[in-house]
């Protein structure tokens, strides 16, 4: 690895190999430096996201990057057979990192796996059903948006069709989802510098944004946010 992201990725590798509290505290200075590098990366991504997704500008432009960032220590209140630290740097670029809404963009950086994406994670029952209903009513739109973005929806699915939905309903494949997400890997060329990563994120955000807005509308029941998605729909299927 050669580039501006080297230090935080090298720290992730070292923590993965020494995932215990003693090592973490002995190397806290290295953690602080890597964390500062990640904060600098997020400052670059702030502008990239705002350029590609103007609808998020009010939520993103003046937010503190520390409010987007997840902690490396795992939550000790939840019993797990896992090491005490998650050896990665992660952030949810949104108005509220702790909430599924408003939908933002997620970035994950570690030694081996770096990816970026968006979507709806673990909505409550009311929002889940609202999303499923919206998908059945707008399945053709969703299919075209996904094709244009070059992505497929990911996320856990139920084994059979949810109660109240026909297995032959429009968008049946997506109705079975419990989460609606999509991610793409960040290529190594994007990890050479903060500026290169920002350029890649801007390109991906521009492609992803119509699908993010579709999911946001589905989850909230509100009218489509932003003229981009509204125009996209009206040009192809007319007003509903």
For residue 223, is it left (φ>0), alpha (ψ between -120 and 50) or beta?
beta
Residue-wise pLDDT for 201-227, tens only, equals 999 999 999 999 999 999 987 654 444
Can you tell me the distance from the alpha carbon of 123 to that of 234, in angstroms, rounded to the nearest whole number? 28
Note the pLDDT of residue 96. 79
Q: In angstroms, what CA-CA distances link 126 with 133, 135, 190? A: 11, 14, 39
- H or E segment and range at residue 57: helix 57-60
pLDDT digits (tens, 9 = 90+) for 36-65: 999 999 999 999 999 999 999 999 999 999
What domains sit in the chain, N to C, each tagged with a CATH number? 6-237 (3.30.930)
Of the pLDDT bands very low, low, confident and very high (cuts 50, 70, 90), residue 1 is very low
Q: Counting beta carbons within 10 angstroms of the beta carbon of residue 25, is it exposed (0 to 12), middle (13 to 18) or buried (19 or more)?
A: exposed
Residue 193 has pLDDT above 60, yes or no: yes
Per residue in 141-154, pLDDT (tens digit) is 999 999 999 999 99
pTM above 0.85, yes or no: yes
If you average pLDDT over every residue of the chain, what do you get? 90
Tokens of 151: 């992505």
pLDDT > 80? residue 239: no
Average pLDDT over residues 79-95: 90
Residues 106-125 have a mean pLDDT of 94
Q: Where residue 240 falls among pLDDT bands split at 50, 70, 90?
A: very low
Return the pLDDT at 234: 43
Bridge partners of 116?
107, 184
């Amino acid at each position: 690895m050669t580039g501006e992201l080297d230090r935080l990725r090298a720290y992730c590798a070292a923590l993965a190999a020494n995932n215990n509290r003693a090592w973490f505290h002995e190397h806290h200075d290295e953690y602080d430096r890597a964390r500062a590098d990640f904060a600098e990366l997020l400052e670059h991504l702030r502008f990239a996201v705002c350029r590609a997704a103007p609808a998020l500008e009010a939520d993103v432009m003046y937010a503190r990057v520390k409010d987007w960032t997840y902690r490396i220590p795992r939550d000790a209140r939840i019993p797990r057979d896992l090491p005490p630290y998650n050896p990665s740097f992660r952030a949810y670029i949104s108005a509220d990192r702790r909430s599924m809404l408003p939908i933002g963009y997620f970035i994950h950086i570690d030694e081996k796996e770096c990816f970026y994406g968006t979507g709806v994670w673990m909505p409550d029952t009311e929002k889940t059903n609202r999303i499923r209903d919206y998908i059945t009513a707008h399945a053709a739109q969703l299919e075209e948006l996904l094709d244009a973005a070059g992505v497929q929806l990911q996320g856990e699915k139920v084994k059979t069709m949810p109660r109240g939905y026909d297995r032959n309903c429009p968008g049946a494949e997506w109705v079975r989802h419990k989460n609606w997400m999509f991610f793409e890997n960040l290529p190594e060329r994007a990890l050479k510098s903060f500026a290169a990563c920002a350029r890649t994120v801007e390109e991906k955000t521009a492609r992803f944004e119509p699908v993010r807005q579709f999911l946001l509308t589905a989850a909230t029941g509100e009218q489509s946010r932003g003229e981009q998605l509204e125009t996209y729909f009206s040009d192809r299927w007319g007003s509903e």
